[in-house]
């Protein structure tokens, strides 16, 4: 196989998702000659099968809920149903606009974009449909796909993945969601808003189990109020077709039936058959292993995004891709602090957080060194206007910085930006308390929580 061009690129990127295209854009901006290889569509999972389409569905669900419930605000409307063809048209228009913009960005940076299925052929080359693309450095960014369990076959009919759920041509009358993490609770929330009867099965003892336990309990309370059922603490055993749908059996013998089963137990790395192991790249359970600068054990190869065992979030992929590009361009780089990454689950209500959970903080600093406080959104004017419930919980090292911010409530994802600054700048509660937050906003609740933690609560009992 020959390189059909004499070019040896500074950086060859295998995968055009969040991590790959971020590295390409930043690398080209810094003067690197970049080749970007993608077998499907530029933008990857996030744009086409993940972040963007799921949030569009969730917003459509929010509109459905508002139309049903508008009379509580003194506005009379009638809800006539959900037109899934119309929902998909709206969703696809959002994706198409962003996709076109991204294509234009890549073209404007003079990145060599290569469509085709690539395979690592040496520590400095990728083969794509009969062409060898040479580079001084190779970045692996091949992303992830929905995972399943042994013996549980995703058939795209009654047993579906999140990919299938995004294109479902109907609102299922009933659905079982296997997995109570981010993907599972987001689809459960959207489907309930559309009118489905939903049951979430989570083997661990709480929904969104990686979040602070208080956030999980608040979400569980909200889901109960919405009529979303869930079964916690017992693992899946088997699934089988019934005459009209699917039956799920758990390890304790409990059975659940529904029209469809969504398997939402997470995503696994795309790495098999791509030449990684053959070229000496260290792997673990399909993930490519990297150091804090995203370097693999092979000096000319880096890896980013869902392919590596870090947080599977698009914005983490962006940060990792930028880090690699800047390192290769000779800039001083700082490793990603994964605890400092904002995390948002866009169900109704939203769950947003940054930093350590209270349990983790006690593990790190000692139980006697950690304090926490909760500020209920019921004391926040804008939240009352929006008729949302929830809390903001702060976790602090005693007499020190705030090391965790955990929020539950509608639109809390929009508040996590300031929470990120508080954590990453190691702010003291008294420092945040000095800042004036606009009234009436939900952002004000974050300020009020810090006032309380600083010992001078305003709209909160001592």
> Is 110 within 8 Å of 35 (Cβ atoms)?
no
Extract the tokens encoding 441: 């906003």
Extract the tokens encoding 330: 């000779």
- Show the beta-strand stretches assigned E in 179-284: 197-202, 229-232, 236-241, 246-250, 255-258, 260-263, 267-269, 283-284
Given the structure tokens 């609740």, which residue do they identify?
445
Contacts for 249 with CB less than 8 Å, ≥ 6 apart:
237, 238, 239, 240, 255
Using alpha carbons, list the distances in angstroms from residue 75 to 71, 72, 354. 5, 7, 37
Q: How far apart are CA 175 and CA 256, in angstroms?
A: 10
Q: How far apart are CA 406 and CA 392, in angstroms?
A: 6
Number of alpha carbons in the 13 Å side-chain half-sphere of residue 402: 33
Give backbone dihedrals phi and psi of 139, rounded to 5 degrees, phi first: -115, 120
Residues classed as catalytic:
439
Which of 193, 348, 178 minimizes the C-alpha distance to 266?
178
> Is 18 within 8 Å of 317 (Cβ atoms)?
yes
> Is 127 within 8 Å of 10 (Cβ atoms)?
no
The DSSP line for 9-29 is BSEEEE--SHHHHHHHHHHHH
* Rg from Cα positions in the chain: 24
């Amino acid at each position: 196989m020959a390189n059909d061009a004499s070019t040896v690129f500074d950086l060859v990127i295998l995968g055009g998702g969040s991590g790959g295209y971020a590295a390409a854009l930043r690398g080209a901006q810094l003067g690197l000659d970049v080749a970007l290889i993608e077998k499907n569509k530029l933008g990857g999972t996030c744009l086409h099968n993940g972040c963007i389409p799921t949030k569009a569905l969730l917003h459509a669900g929010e509109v459905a809920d508002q139309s049903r419930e508008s009379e509580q605000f003194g506005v009379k409307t009638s809800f006539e149903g959900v037109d899934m063809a119309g929902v998909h048209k709206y969703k696809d228009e959002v994706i198409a606009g962003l996709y076109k913009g991204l294509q234009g960005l890549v073209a404007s940076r003079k990145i060599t974009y290569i469509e085709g299925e690539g395979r690592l052929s040496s520590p400095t080359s990728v083969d794509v449909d009969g062409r060898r693309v040479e580079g001084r450095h190779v970045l692996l960014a091949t992303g992830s796909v929905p995972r399943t369990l042994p013996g549980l076959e995703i058939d795209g009919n009654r047993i579906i993945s999140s990919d299938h759920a995004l294109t479902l041509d109907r609102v299922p009358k009933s659905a079982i969601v296997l997995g109570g993490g981010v993907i599972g609770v987001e689809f459960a929330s959207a489907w309930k808003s559309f009118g489905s009867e939903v049951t979430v099965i989570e083997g661990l003892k709480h929904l969104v189990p990686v979040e602070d336990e208080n956030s999980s309990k608040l979400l569980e309370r909200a889901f109960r109020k919405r009529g979303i059922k869930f079964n916690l603490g017992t693992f899946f055993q088997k699934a089988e077709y019934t005459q009209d749908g699917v039956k799920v059996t758990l390890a304790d013998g409990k059975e659940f039936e529904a029209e469809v089963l969504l398997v939402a137990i997470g995503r696994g790395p795309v790495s098999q058959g791509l030449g990684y192991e053959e070229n000496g790249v260290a792997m673990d359970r399909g993930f490519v292993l990297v150091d804090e600068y995203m370097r693999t054990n092979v000096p000319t190869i880096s890896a980013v995004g869902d392919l590596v065992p870090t947080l599977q979030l698009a914005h983490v992929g962006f940060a990792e891709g930028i880090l690699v590009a800047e390192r290769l361009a000779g800039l001083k780089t700082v490793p990603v602090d994964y605890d400092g990454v904002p995390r948002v689950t866009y169900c109704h209500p939203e769950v947003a957080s940054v930093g350590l959970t209270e349990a983790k903080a006690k593990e790190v600093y000692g139980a006697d060194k950690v304090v926490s406080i909760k500020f209920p959104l019921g004391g926040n004017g804008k939240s009352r206007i929006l008729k949302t419930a929830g809390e903001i919980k702060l976790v602090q090292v005693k007499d020190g910085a705030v090391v965790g911010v955990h929020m539950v409530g509608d639109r809390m994802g929009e508040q996590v930006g300031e929470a990120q600054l508080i954590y990453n700048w190691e702010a003291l509660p008294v420092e945040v308390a000095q800042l004036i937050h606009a009234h009436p906003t939900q952002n004000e609740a974050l300020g009020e929580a810090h006032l309380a933690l600083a010992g001078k609560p305003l709209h909160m009992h001592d």
